[in-house]
């Protein structure tokens, strides 16, 4: 799990991901983005 703060809006986002590369990015505005990560 990783926390990212947007430099523009100062909103904190939490990135959660598992070993198979599925991730969800969530913020305090209850918006969420799901993403798939490919290993390099």
Q: What is the pLDDT of residues 20-32, one digit of tens each?
A: 888 888 888 888 8
Instruction: Provide the whole-model pTM.
Output: 0.53
Instruction: Give the pair of three-digit tokens for residue 13.
Output: 């986002």
Identify the domain containing residue 13 by its residue range.
2-36
At 1, is the pLDDT very low, low, confident or very high (cuts 50, 70, 90)?
A: confident
Sign of the dihedral through C-alpha 40, 21, 1, 31: positive
Q: What local confidence, expressed as pLDDT, does residue 40 receive?
A: 56
Count of structural domains, the chain: 1
Q: What local confidence, expressed as pLDDT, does residue 39 receive?
A: 66
- Return the beta strands (E) in the chain as ranges: 2-5, 12-17, 22-27, 32-36
pLDDT exceeds 80 at position 14: yes
């Amino acid at each position: 799990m990783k926390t990212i703060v947007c430099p523009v809006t100062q909103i904190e986002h939490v990135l959660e991901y598992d070993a198979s590369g599925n991730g969800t990015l969530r913020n305090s505005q209850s918006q969420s983005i799901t993403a798939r990560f490919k290993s390099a």
